Structure 1
Amino acid sequence: MSSPIIQAENLNVHYGSIHALKGITFQVNKGEVVSLIGANGAGKTTTLRALSGLVPCTGKLYFEDQDLTKVPTFKRVGLGLAQSPEGRGVFPQMSVEENLTMGAYSRSDKGGIKQDMDMCLELFPRLKERLWQMAGTMSGGEQQMLAISRALMARPKILLLDEPSLGLAPLIVAQIFDIVKKLNQEGMTILLVEQNARMALKISHRAYVLETGKIVMQDSAVNLLNNNEVRKSYLGV
């Protein structure tokens, strides 16, 4: 079995008096796609934000055996942890190329940056056609492609994807998931938060089910797809 790239033990997050994450423990191994599924407000996005350092947390958090607890966000990116956020969060007044360049802000290897930009434009040909277009004028699907590509420009060891299908047409969603699957086949480790539990489980190796800030179930994605409780609660079957 591959070694863990992310390990969280007894992770807690509070928003004021709200206990958003209640002592969750999980891990992501190198080369895996792992999904976090659950209803709105279950704590899925909060988990990613804790990993990225965007919200304070207590408990233990390790990235390749390094204690992340007090490591600031920008240094986590440098270590190899990059996030494509919910709502995409592109820089609207900047071009596609400028957004991609911002993704590589922590890097100085010009040759590698050019290579990775070419790779992103090959993955998402739509972006190549719109290289000089302002990101704010693009469709939701194009912005999602840009958000993922911008995260890839950091050359991460693990990609955190937060709701990549949110608000997108089914055809675009299928394209995005095909790319996520391809990235994993090429060796990228991915932690995926996704409201569309069926699609998430279909491309995942394992998954954790969150309810009100707690992990209530964990198993292989195949087993969860066939679990009656999961099917009834999250797959609409």
Structure 2
Amino acid sequence: MSSPMLTVQNLEVYYGAIHALKGVSFEVKTGEVVSLIGANGAGKTTTLRALSGLVGTKGQISFKGQDLSQVPTHKRVGLGIAQSPEGRGVFPQMTVRENLEMGAYSRKDKAGILKDFDMCLELFPRLKERLWQMAGTLSGGEQQMLAISRALMCKPELLLLDEPSLGLAPIIVSQIFEIVKKLNHEGMTILLVEQNARMALKISHRAYVLETGRIVMQDSAQNLLNNDEVRKSYLGV
């Protein structure tokens, strides 16, 4: 593991009078899978939205040494940050192919786009069978595969995954997590937000525990898996 790709310091987010993030600080090093775990409403999704520039923030977010405070969302994508959002957010009235092409909207390298298109279909053969199908008619698992693939079409250096297992059958969840592991083994840096804490910790290098907008614990994923407090609160053991 090398220097931090992403550094977050004293991140604050308000939704009106609601103080959603209260001085959150963490880092993600190049080549890591880092998880944010915590209960519903802890601030996990808000953190990812802040990194993507989708909510107003105070504090500092640095990506590869560059301060992102004045960088709009589309330019953050251009810098190498892509998000697969909670709830998938596919374009329902567009085909699978068109959704993937939207992921590459800011790119000009045609050969690279074709290569990544083929890579996505190799990672998720199910999408290859449904290229001309409307995204809104796909199953939940297929939509999740499409959301991740669309993010990969941005050619990110940092992939933000928000609740990739939400609402999916266990066998599909296992497939999705195997793909996340494979992407990381091939060099992708990943920040994972996930309510299925056990699955998240099993594929992560490190993790942070969020409670009501604050980070209350951080450690290696293995240590957190074995931590009695984490096991009782988040792993149901």
Same fold (TM over 0.5): yes
Report deviation, 1:61. 0.8
**How far apart, in 1, do the equivalents of 2:147 and 2:61 lie?**
25
Matched ranges for 1:3-18 at <5 A: 3-18=3-18
Q: Gaps (5+ residues) in structure 1? A: none
Find the counterpart in structure 2 of residue 211 from structure 1. 211
Report deviation, 1:7. 0.3
Find the counterpart in structure 2 of residue 68 from structure 1. 68
TM (norm. structure 2) is 1.00
**How far apart, in 2, do the equivalents of 1:154 and 1:187 lie?**
15
Q: What count of residue pairs does the alignment treat as equivalent?
A: 237
**How far apart, in 1, do the equivalents of 2:178 and 2:53 lie?**
29
**How far apart, in 2, do the equivalents of 1:77 and 1:41 lie?**
26
Find the counterpart in structure 1 of residue 142 from structure 2. 142
Aligned letter for 1:118?
A: D
Report deviation, 1:137. 0.2
- Residue 226 (structure 2) pairs with residue 226 (structure 1): yes
Find the counterpart in structure 2 of residue 133 from structure 1. 133
Matched ranges for 1:138-217 at <5 A: 138-217=138-217
**How far apart, in 1, do the equivalents of 2:204 and 2:109 lie?**
32
Report deviation, 1:28. 0.3
**How far apart, in 1, do the equivalents of 2:229 and 2:95 lie?**
45
**How far apart, in 2, do the equivalents of 1:61 and 1:83 lie?**
16
State the SS of the aligned residue for 1:82: strand
Aligned letter for 2:90?
A: V
Report deviation, 1:42. 0.2
**How far apart, in 1, do the equivalents of 2:10 and 2:109 lie?**
37
**How far apart, in 1, do the equivalents of 2:48 and 2:158 lie?**
12
Report deviation, 1:165. 0.2
**How far apart, in 2, do the equivalents of 1:220 and 1:158 lie?**
19
Moved over 6 A (4+): none
Aligned letter for 1:236?
A: G
State the SS of the aligned residue for 1:34: strand
- Residue 74 (structure 2) pairs with residue 84 (structure 1): no
TM (norm. structure 1) is 1.00
Aligned letter for 1:119?
A: M
**How far apart, in 2, do the equivalents of 1:63 and 1:91 lie?**
28
Report deviation, 1:37. 0.2
State the SS of the aligned residue for 2:45: helix
**How far apart, in 2, do the equivalents of 1:33 and 1:134 lie?**
32
Report deviation, 1:224. 0.0
State the SS of the aligned residue for 1:232: helix
Find the counterpart in structure 1 of residue 94 from structure 2. 94
Report deviation, 1:92. 0.2
Find the counterpart in structure 2 of residue 53 from structure 1. 53
Q: Gaps (5+ residues) in structure 2? A: none
Identity of aligned residues (%): 81
Query: What's the CA shift string for 1:36-93, capped at 9, x where partnerless?
Result: 0000000000000000000010001100000001100000000000000000000000
State the SS of the aligned residue for 2:9: strand
Report deviation, 1:2. 0.6
- Residue 38 (structure 2) pairs with residue 38 (structure 1): yes
Find the counterpart in structure 2 of residue 117 from structure 1. 117
**How far apart, in 2, do the equivalents of 1:3 and 1:84 lie?**
24
**How far apart, in 2, do the equivalents of 1:222 and 1:61 lie?**
27
**How far apart, in 2, do the equivalents of 1:158 and 1:59 lie?**
20
**How far apart, in 1, do the equivalents of 2:47 and 2:36 lie?**
9
Aligned letter for 1:178?
A: E
Report deviation, 1:233. 0.1
**How far apart, in 2, do the equivalents of 1:95 and 1:186 lie?**
28
